[in-house]
Chain A
Amino acid sequence: MKLKEMTYCALMIAIIACLGLIPLITIPFLPVPISFQTAGIMLAGSCLGRKLGFWSVTLFLLLVAVGLPLLAGFRGGVGVFFGPTAGYLISWPICAYAIGWLVQHLRRVPLFWRFIVANLVGGMLLMNLVGAGYLAWQSNLPFTQVLVSSLVFLPGDALKALVVAVVADQLARHRLLPHF
């Protein structure tokens, strides 16, 4: 791994931590406030590609696991990996990799729509599928029931995917995305 890759990976870890601290946006008709931490995972995959995206998210979770309160709401410690929502955390490195892979492999598509599709499929859908699957398994709940309940997260996640796509597209237009 080159120096530049290493420093970008490290700074992305810090970005993911900082995005968890952005004030929550509440959508009037939804009970779930939007945390921008998952936007950080989407950004990692979109801006750094699949390998570095995967590593930055994995190392972020490693810092969380040893106790640093870097998750939204100042949570941290291995306790977060033993609750029913741990599946969402486990999905994060997978999503970052999937987003990076999709951005790289969606040829002949305008860049903005490449980012949109990658973040909706690799980010929103994959994250909620893995999270819901884990929740159903860990709590002995019917998978279908949990999946339906997960729909409440989709508008917020779609909004985050849109924000990340706009950000990544803007950076790409101004040639500010890193190339390794």
Chain B
Amino acid sequence: MNHMVFGNYLPGHSLLHRLHPTGKIIGLVSLITWTLLANNWANYAVLTVVILALVKMAQVPFGMLFSSLRPFVWLIAFTVLIQLGFGHGGTTYWHWGPLNVTSVGVTTAGLIFVRFLLIIVVAMLLTVTTSPNAIAKGVETFLTPLKKLGVPVAMIGIMLSIALRFIPTLLSEMQTIMNAQRSRGVVFNGGSLWQRVKNVLSLIIPLLVSAFRHADNLADALGASGYDASQPRSSYYQYQWHLLDTLALVGVFLIGVLVVGLRGV
């Protein structure tokens, strides 16, 4: 299970890997905005070419690309089918009760399908080329402007890092608890409904107690090591902003200009 949660990260040295994590997050948000602004096939052609080029640049195997889309199959199908079944306008191809399949519905469903795919792939590009801790750091830097609104950005950065650090630990403990309970006769996913509920309880309660114990111990350790949330922090990991990062963002914004220019009414 650990691999599935963090296995998205693909260590490498491609151009995309070496970009600044904050720059990548800004680029990600921008590309998704362009995708949402796009409203005709010329737009989507431009975006598809750009995004596939990025996939190639990141050296992502196409098998990995498809496996990252698999969890979304149901969500995509659900969205597309809703548009197909309840669209309005244009020529009606088929009709039954509240269901209408119309030309506008079909076109809209197609656009939504492409949009969904592009957004999922763009998001995948970030996690494939950036380690989880770099993402946490990037998010913290990305949120820096919120300091002026009183949001405790540095604390958020610490909390994200701690959460990411403890997900594998808790997963491992969950596995240990499940095996310990199995050795005591618990059969997960077997028995009657109430038996299953009791079995889940025998997993959740120890997991929660263990997590709370970690939280207490960690708070004590942080306090003992002199951590003060209200003081400025130095950082072990240093990310340098290079000319390459600037050029990458300029490129992303130029694509945005192109997409807006190609927009229909």
Contact = CB atoms under 8 A, between A and B. Distances in A.
B51 to A, nearest CB: 13
Contacts of A171: 205, 208-209
Given A15-B170, A83-B78, A176-B212, A69 B160 contact: no
B18 to A, nearest CB: 18
Contacts, number: 202
A70 B126 CA distance: 15
A73 interface: yes
Interface size class of chain A, counting residues whose CB lies under 8 Å from the partner chain: 35 or more
A75 B75 CA distance: 10
A8 interface: yes
B188 interface: yes
Nearest to B73: A73
B135 A163 contact: no
Interface string B1-38: 10011001000000000000000010010001000100
A interface: dominant SS: helix
Interface residues of B, number: 71
Contacts of A14: 163, 166-167, 169-170, 211
A68 B86 contact: no
B interface: dominant SS: helix
B159 A59 contact: yes
Contacts of B258: none
A105 interface: no
B170 A66 contact: no
Contacts of B160: 10, 13, 59, 62-63
B215 A18 contact: no
Which of B5, B123, B218 is most buried by chain A, counting CB atoms within 10 A of its CB?
B123
A15 B208 contact: yes
B98 to A, nearest CB: 8
Contact of A10 (B88, B124, B159, B205): B159
Contacts of A36: 200, 204
A100 B79 CA distance: 33
